[in-house]
Chains A and B, each alone.
Chain A
């Protein structure tokens, strides 16, 4: 339940500003449909960022959620590990994100993928914070 409107998820609250909601959803779609980063990588990173913010995470198999929750990403493929190492920094350690960690992302996904992934990580973090701030109950 949100402060603004009972029983509302973030998507429903954003609809209070329809023009902004349309553009917000278009922005998310541009990230999700990017050819530069596999959708599974984005889903893993979003789930981990939501976990860091206190939620269970969603959008990936339960087994993966369990591995993500440990913070030990050795179970995952090397490109997924590189993405998750960067994701781990974004919510509360973004100043500690190291050049080597960004370089690992570049090597895994290329320049376009690096830009796309780092943008996505920031948006996942922002979205989690927005859900918490608006008390949507989704995290």
Chain B
């Protein structure tokens, strides 16, 4: 697994991270954040449970977030 960004930032002067790399495809990332906000801000499952499962998922997949 690479630890270096494989795609440069789309935003001049900003380092490559999830937001700036995804900015290469604004329509896609815009739709993603709309879905992600809906997922986190609404729904039947408590945020604490969503966060707990998110962290567990991140640990299993070696994700640093």
Q: Say yes or no: is A75 at the interface (Cβ < 8 Å to chain B).
A: no
Interface of A is mostly: helix
Q: A99-B6, A103-B6, A111-B8 are in contact. Are A23 and B24 (CB under 8 A)?
A: no
Please give the number of chain A residues whose Cβ is less than 8 angstroms from any Cβ of chain B in the complex. 28
Chain A residues closer than 8 Å to B27, beta-carbon distance? 30, 33-34
**Other-chain residue from B10, B25, B42, B43 in contact with A119 (beta carbon distance below 8 A):** B25
Are B30 and A30 in touch, CB under 8 angstroms?
yes
For the complex, what is the distance from the CA of A110 to the CA of B4, rounded to whole Å? Answer: 18
For the complex, what is the distance from the CA of A5 to the CA of B35, rounded to whole Å? Answer: 23
Are B43 and A24 in touch, CB under 8 angstroms?
no
Instruction: List residues of A (66-124) whose CB comes within 8 Å of B's CBs.
Output: 94-99, 102-103, 106, 111-112, 114-116, 119
Q: Say yes or no: is B1 at the interface (Cβ < 8 Å to chain A).
A: yes
Are B7 and A116 in touch, CB under 8 angstroms?
no
Mask, B26-38, CB within 8 Å of A = 1, is 0110111011001
**Separation in Å of the A65 CB from the closest CB of chain B?**
26
Are B8 and A20 in touch, CB under 8 angstroms?
no
Are A116 and B25 in touch, CB under 8 angstroms?
yes
Name the CB-closest residue of A to B2. Answer: A99
For the complex, what is the distance from the CA of A31 to the CA of B26, rounded to whole Å? Answer: 11
**Separation in Å of the A42 CB from the closest CB of chain B?**
12
Name the CB-closest residue of B to A28. Answer: B31
**Other-chain residue from B1, B6, B35, B61 in contact with A23 (beta carbon distance below 8 A):** B35
Q: Give 18 CB contacts A-B under 8 Å.
A: A17-B43, A19-B38, A19-B42, A20-B39, A23-B34, A23-B38, A24-B35, A26-B31, A27-B32, A30-B27, A30-B28, A36-B25, A95-B62, A111-B8, A112-B25, A115-B7, A115-B25, A119-B25
